[in-house]
């Protein structure tokens, strides 16, 4: 299952407003692999940072496969800029990086190449 960080933030906010945070989390915990794209493109308020922690914690502690993939243009050391609760974020990062494999790619953006080609044709 793949979800963008912006969509995740929207789901968390809607779940809080409707009082269905448990249901929201329960829908995100079971997949054997959860991909969260574009961490750092949208700020999470304190309550949504706590929900993000609960999601990661529940996946980390569940039995069976709990693979998680995060994509970001930001170094994880800078994620604190987008999450409002520092202590909660530290616990979350501890779960994420406890047994992680990190790939740091320094390549040109494929989307950027398309944009440059479009700008040159115009």
Question: In which residue are the tokens 């969509």 written?
Answer: 7
The residues with which 3 forms a beta bridge, in sequence order, are 36
| pTM for the structure as a whole | 0.80
Phi, psi of 19 (to 5 degrees): 70, 25
d(CA 27, CA 30): 7
State the chain's mean pLDDT as an integer. Answer: 86
Rounded to 10 degrees, the C-alpha dihedral 13/56/44/69 comes to -110
pLDDT in tens, 98-121: 888 888 877 776 666 666 655 555
């Amino acid at each position: 299952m793949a979800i963008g960080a912006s969509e995740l933030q929207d789901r968390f906010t809607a779940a809080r407003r409707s009082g269905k945070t448990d249901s929201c989390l329960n829908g995100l915990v079971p997949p054997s692999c959860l991909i969260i794209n574009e961490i750092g493109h949208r700020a999470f308020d304190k309550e949504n940072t706590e929900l993000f922690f609960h999601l990661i914690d529940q996946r980390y502690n569940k039995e069976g496969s709990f693979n998680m993939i995060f994509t970001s243009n930001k170094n994880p050391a800078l994620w604190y800029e987008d999450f409002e609760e520092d202590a909660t974020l530290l616990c979350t990062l501890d779960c994420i990086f406890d047994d992680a494999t990190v790939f740091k790619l320094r390549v040109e953006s494929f989307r950027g190449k398309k944009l440059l080609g479009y700008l040159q044709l115009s």
